[in-house]
Structure 1
């Protein structure tokens, strides 16, 4: 797994609305950079509380929805209108309220679902082998969607390089459907993998692996609330524990960011960075600001690692 040349950047905010608006500004910046360089913007979304944190994108000036290619960093093997679907959560929160072409939102292919999955997707399967094969086929097809999208953009790299992947943090430190101690943490062959034994229901899912997460230009975690305090502290202050979130370290020049509220960050000792609001006219200058923050954070992290060893 590649190592980032820079440690995570931690942004904290007094209240959730400030976090959400700043995150929208950050996404706008990432989009503007990507379109200027490559003519399109590739983004992957997650579920949980993340979709509701993206509501400020609706009506935000400067968003070029016709340039977006939207994927899902993980998805439950359920119909797209199911209450457990990450697609459904994101659609309800903002995708259904913006003018993005439907073909540019890449969902799992439900035509591959068995009749039993359509009828009761969260029930224990009667045929374990058939259930596994179904999940493998769904994961493989989603990986092919990645291949098709990135190949059409002239991306000949070994891995897809997302402009931005938005991630959540579970109470156990999981992200996507990559759970502590699970074999998928060491999967180095696939971009998209099936999981049949998720500790959280529903059990059957597909997920990006670190092969995708750690080749993105930007990964951004979003976490809020007192209930996140202990886990967030362990992830940022004790990365040697190896929780799944801690393992998201995009290869250079990739960056990983954390957007959290003060309640979630209350126990964190990791150094915080002040978020600099960026206007559209300041987009180019912001690269220098980020560069300076990266140098500062690298120096602090190198000192912390040296002291710990």
Structure 2
């Protein structure tokens, strides 16, 4: 779905998140959301501070994390906490951050244990890099596509700093009722076009049963599922 500008993208994404939450809480009594990092979702997270929802039923997970100290400003969890999570009454024990300060190997094992027994996510938010990466799944790396892949992967050679990261695997991210990619900026036009043409990029490895929804800003593609 293409929208006119970033402000519209934020508003549409905000509404999609709250609609998914309302549906999940009504049907299953809880809402399992996976958050994206990077700059694109920050404004959306700030909007969610004022949302009318029952926060006691939210369970928050993260798609990836940089292996930096827990209070580092470059951490995805720190961004989401400052922009949103510290301002709403989600139970603290239901915000499941990736302990990436432990290093990639230990953090991936710990987060896989956190996810043990957790069912399908209700909503997964993802971004898209100009190289086609999503979460911390980069080109020419292991994306964890196989059904036997661990839920969380240790990343040691990310092409963007820091090199050590933790990412949910493509297989785990695909276990979701809704996957919503948030893509802003003209710089993403080429990679979205390649994706639609079938290029083997990491984003293409995310394959939930219902397909993925792509919300784009200033990129005029027909609405629909890739």
**TM-score computed with the length of structure 2 as normaliser:** 0.92
Displacement of 1:42 in angstroms is 0.3
Structure 2 distance, partners of 1:183, 1:22, is 32
Q: Distance in 2 between matches of 1:109 and 1:200?
A: 20
Q: Once structures 1 and 2 are overlaid, which stretch shifts more, 227-236 or 67-76?
A: 227-236
Q: CA deviation at 1:259?
A: 1.2
Does structure 1 residue 200 correspond to structure 2 residue 154? no
The answer as to whether partners of 2:144 and 2:153 remain within 8 angstroms in 1 is: no
Find the counterpart in structure 1 of residue 51 from structure 2: 60
By how many angstroms is 1:247 displaced?
A: 2.1
CA distance in 1 between partners of 2:204 and 2:150 (Å) = 20
Equivalent residues of 1:20, 1:54 under 8 A apart: no
Could you tell me how far 1:189 is from its partner in structure 2? 2.2
Moved more, 46-55 or 208-217: 46-55
3-state SS in 2 of match to 1:234:
helix
Please state if 1:256 is matched with 2:212: yes
- Structure with more of its chain in helix, by fraction: 1
Cα distance in structure 1, aligned partners of 2:69 and 2:170 = 26
Q: For residues 236-255 of structure 1, what are the structure 2 equivalents within 5 Å?
A: 236=196, 238-239=197-198, 241-251=199-209, 254-255=210-211
Higher alpha-carbon Rg: 1
Contact 2:49 2:84 in 1 (8 A): yes
**Equivalent in 126, 135, 138 of residue 167 of structure 1:** 126
- Deviation track 1:41-62 (CA, whole Å, cap 9, x = no partner) reads 000111112233332212122x
Which stretches of structure 1, 4 residues or longer, exceed 4 Å deviation after superposition?
A: none
Alpha-carbon distance change, 76 to 89 in structure 1, aligned in 2, over 3 angstroms:
same
Which whole-Å CA distance do the structure 1 matches of 2:122 and 2:76 have between them?
20
Corresponding residue for 1:83? 73
Structure 2: segments with no counterpart, 5+ residues? none
The 5 A counterparts of 1:113-132 are 113=102
Please give the secondary structure, in 1, of the residue aligned with 2:212: strand
- Which position in structure 1 is the counterpart of 2:142? 183
Consecutive unaligned residues of structure 1, counting only runs of 5 or more, are 1-10, 114-133, 151-159, 274-296, 302-309
Q: Distance in 2 between matches of 1:100 and 1:162?
A: 17
Once the two structures are TM-superposed, the CA of residue 183 in structure 1 deviates from its matched residue by: 2.4
Q: Is the 8 A contact 1:35 1:41 kept in 2?
A: yes
Is 1:139 aligned with 2:103? no
State the partner residue of 2:14: 24
Q: Which residue of 1 aligns with 2:24?
A: 34
So what's the TM-score if we normalise by structure 1? Answer: 0.68
Q: Is the 8 A contact 1:185 1:244 kept in 2?
A: no
Spell out the pairing of 1:99-114 with structure 2 (5 A cutoff): 99-109=89-99, 113=102
Q: State the secondary structure of the residue aligned to 1:58.
A: helix
CA contact (8 A) 2:136 2:166 kept: yes
The aligned residue for residue 223 of structure 2 is: 272
User: Displacement, 1:135?
Assistant: 2.2
Closer/same/farther in 2, CA of residues 75 and 30 from structure 1, 3 Å limit: same
CA distance in 2, matches of 1:171, 1:99: 35
